[in-house]
Amino acid sequence: MASESIKILGVRVDKVNPVEAYNRFLHLMDSHTMSMIFTPNTEIVMMAQQDKALRSILREADLVVPDGIGLVYASKLHNLGLDERVTGIDLMERILKYCHTTKRSIYILGGKPGVAERAMEAILKVYPSIESKGYQDGYFKPENELKIIDRINELKPDILFVAMGAPKQEKWIYKHRKILNVKVAMGVGGSVDVWAGTAKRAPVFFQKANLEWLYRLLKNPSRVGRMMALPKFMFKVLLSRDFSKDYAPKAEDGINGGNSEASVSASPDKHASN
């Protein structure tokens, strides 16, 4: 059963609230094939305008949660029925809680050296029944990639959290989806830094006011370039007609059947139409 999906500026996002996203995750845990979970925000939707491979990957994923208030605003403007955002960090927390209660195992891949290890320690303090299968920083040499995958496959973690920033983590998971021996692989970006204590989540006031982006900008003014994605996104939302209330995830030879292949390259597709 696929989630109900909508199209925002040509990009697939699932119409799910936090509870529905979590239920969908539970359903994926019962699937016999590896599932991919992604959490695009407005910045990623803007990246996907130029990056056709990223658009295809999001369309082929098993769960794509709306991790940004901009996506909810776009939905309101175009009447797409998405009322709430589902942040990646909150979904990760629910998944961790689930892994704790059901004694599942996790592996963390990504972050600067030492970050995944610190994140794992912090996670195990809160959720001691989780089985840690290990961690690996996200700055390994390409020639070590297969060795890392072999190790993950030997360890067979239930959940693989990949924190290498967007779109690298989405492309990495997609590229290796057929050889990864895990139940679910999820792109979690900076959430691992928050667990490790190397980044702080915005205080609750900013979260509730949907102003996390402002907090991040105040803390780290060098992000201003990246932050411009939000006004650019809103401007495009006003002008574009590339929206749909009903956007079927693309068939793939995973749980959705069929077989298609997004070609994954490191650089954005310059020829993609906007």
For ligand UDP, which is the closer residue by CB, 89 or 184? 89
189 binds ligand UDP (CB under 6 A): yes
Binding test (CB under 6 A) with ligand UDP, winner from 67, 90, 170, 193 = 193
**Looking at 57, 163, 182, 184, which residue binds ligand UDP (CB under 6 A)?**
163
164 sits near ligand UDP (criterion: CB under 6 A)? yes
Q: Closest CB to ligand UDP among 90 and 193?
A: 193
Q: For residues 119 and 108, what is the distance between their CA atoms, to the nearest angstrom?
A: 8
Residues 171 and 52: their CA atoms lie apart, in Å, by: 12
Q: Does 70 bind ligand UDP (CB under 6 A)?
A: no
Which stretch, 104-112, 119-127, 177-185, 201-209, contacts ligand UDP (CB under 6 A)? 104-112
Binder to ligand UDP among 18, 134, 165, 268 (CB under 6 A)? 165
Give me the half-sphere count of Cα atoms (radius 13 Å) on the Cβ side of residue 220.
Answer: 11
Distances (CA, A) of 77 to 15, 43, 82, 204, 254: 15, 18, 10, 26, 33
> How many Cβ atoms sit within 10 Å of the Cβ of residue 210?
14
Angle between helices 42-50 and 52-60 (to 10 degrees): 120
Give the separation between CA 143 and CA 158, rounded to whole angstroms.
25
Which is nearer to ligand UDP, 81 or 231 (by Cβ)?
231
Under the binding rule (CB under 6 A), the answer on residue 18 touching ligand UDP is no
Closest residue to ligand UDP, based on beta-carbon distance: 138
Of 97, 100, 151, 168, the one binding ligand UDP (CB under 6 A) is 168
Q: Segment contacting ligand UDP (CB under 6 A): 89-97, 111-119, 233-241, 263-271?
A: 111-119
Task: By CB under 6 A, tell whether 262 contacts ligand UDP.
Answer: no
Give the number of other CB atoms < 10 A from CB of residue 200. 11
Separation between Cα atoms, residue 74 and residue 88, nearest integer Å: 19
Give me the residues that bind ligand UDP (CB under 6 A), please: 110-112, 115, 138-139, 163-166, 168, 189-190, 192-193
